[in-house]
Each structure stands twice: as C-alpha cells, then as structure tokens.
Amino acid sequence: KAGVTQTPRYLIKTRGQQVTLSCSPISGHRSVSWYQQTPGQGLQFLFEYFSETQRNKGNFPGRFSGRQFSNSRSEMNVSTLELGDSALYLCASSFDRTGGAMATEAFFGQGTRLTVV
C-alpha cells in the first residue's frame, strides 16, 4: 500500500510569491491534515479536510488556504510569502471511518521543505 506522497520535496521561493503544495493520501483515507513544523514552534496544525470540506482550522492567517478534491488529494496554498513561512510542511492522512480513537491516527508524508528568501 503506497504511503502519503507530498510534492515537491523542496522549494525555494522569494518573499511575496505564492506557493502550492500537493498531498496524495493513502488510498481509502478521507481525512487530510496539514501541519507546519519549525524548530521553535514544533508541529502546528494548519487545517484538516474531510470529504472535500474543511472540518478544522488552526490559528494561521488567511494567507494559508487549502482544498481537497473528490479523490481525497489535497493542496495547500500560501500567498504573499514571508520569511517566517520557511518551514517543513507536513501532510497527514487518516482513515477516519469509525470516528473512534483510531480515527485520528495520522500517517505522514515526508514533507515539503519550503525556504523563503
């Protein structure tokens, strides 16, 4: 079974530009979450999508947005990039069928390392 695939693995962008990151979840997983990881703040939750609907959202500015397609693939977009957006962006998928404790078990991709210069 293929794991979570994130593309691209590495990105270098200039301040003010925008960027789109892609995530393909494990087959059969309907929930996709996005996280930002930095050395100082750790893993911070951006948003979660389930069946093409944003179900949860973290405390990030509106420059951060996402969407999910009917095949559960997800994209996140960051507009007007700032130096502080440099981070490892992780996508995680969950099976989320029963709604029980196992529903939130997350399977992560390798991440996209974004550097803003």
Partner 1 sequence: TQLLEQSPQFLSIQEGENLTVYCNSSSVFSSLQWYRQEPGEGPVLLVTVVTGGEVKKLKRLTFQFGDARKDSSLHITAAQPGDTGLYLCAGAKPSYQLTFGKGTKLSVIP
Q: Of the candidates 16, 43, 54, 77, which one interacts with partner 1 according to CB under 8 A? A: 43
Q: Which two tokens stand for residue 76?
A: 């996140």
From 11-19, 29-37, 63-71, 76-84, give the range in contact with partner 1 by CB under 8 A. Answer: 29-37
First to last CA, the chain: 37
CA–CA gap between residue 75 and residue 101 (Å, rounded): 26
Q: Of the candidates 24, 31, 68, 74, which one interacts with partner 1 according to CB under 8 A? A: 31
Contact between 110 and partner 1 per CB under 8 A: yes
Q: Which two tokens stand for residue 102?
A: 């196992």
From 13-21, 48-56, 61-69, 71-79, give the range in contact with partner 1 by CB under 8 A. Answer: 48-56
Q: Which two tokens stand for residue 33?
A: 């979450």
Q: Which two tokens stand for residue 101?
A: 């404790």
- Name the site residues for partner 1 (rule: CB under 8 A): 4, 31, 33, 35, 41-45, 48, 50, 55-56, 90, 92, 94, 96, 101-111
